[in-house]
Structure formats: structure tokens, C-alpha cells
Amino acid sequence: MSHLTPTEAAIVAAAQASEATTELLRYVREGEYSARSAFGETEPVLKFAEALMLTIDIEGTDAPHLDDDERATLIELQATLGRFLEGWAG
């Protein structure tokens, strides 16, 4: 779980998703950023992964509306996202 309050985490998650969406829309309007990269400094995959991780932190893997299969899938997704984000940063 992040050190942010749920409200702070929601703000950050929304901002991350917004940045990713903005870059995708830029790509639609302008095309590839360069011959080497479709995207500029904003990496949509990274931004969406960070937003999703924060969203899982907010909801929690023990939310009462989740059945056992959904809970297991969410825990697996959270672990996979964690490894992805660690690998990206490393």
C-alpha cells in the first residue's frame, strides 16, 4: 500500500491516467514522436500501470464485494504490476 491517503492516491492515479491519455491523443493527432519512439517523454504504459496500482491500493484486495477468484486475480495483478514497475525503474 502506498503512503498516500485514499484521496491523495485517487488524485495521483487520475493524473497518471490523464497524462497517459493525453499522450495517446497526441499520438493520434501527430503520429510517432520520433523514428525511435511512438511516444514522447510520457510513457503511457508506465502511467497506466502506476494508476492501476494506486487504484488497487485504494480499493484493497480484501474488498467485501470480491469473491475468492476475483480476490486471487486482483492479488496476482497487483504482484505483476509491482514487478513491472520495479523492473521499469531498475
Look at residue 15 and tell me if it is in a domain. yes
Look at residue 1 and tell me if it is in a domain. no
DSSP H helical segments within 31-60, as ranges? 44-59
Which residues span the domain enclosing 19?
6-89
pTM of the model: 0.86
- When comparing pLDDT for 61 and 45, which is higher? 45
pLDDT at 25: 94
Question: Number of folded domains in the chain?
Answer: 1
Cβ pair 51, 13 in contact under 8 A: yes
Look at residue 32 and tell me if it is in a domain. yes
Look at residue 50 and tell me if it is in a domain. yes
Write the CB contacts of 16 (distance below 8 Å, at least 6 apart in sequence): 47, 48, 50, 51, 54
Percent of the chain exceeding pLDDT 90 equals 77
The helix (H) or strand (E) run that includes residue 33 is: none
* 4: nearest Cα among 77, 33, 15, 81: 15
Return the amino acid letter for 61. T
Mean pLDDT of 48-67: 93
Look at residue 33 and tell me if it is in a domain. yes
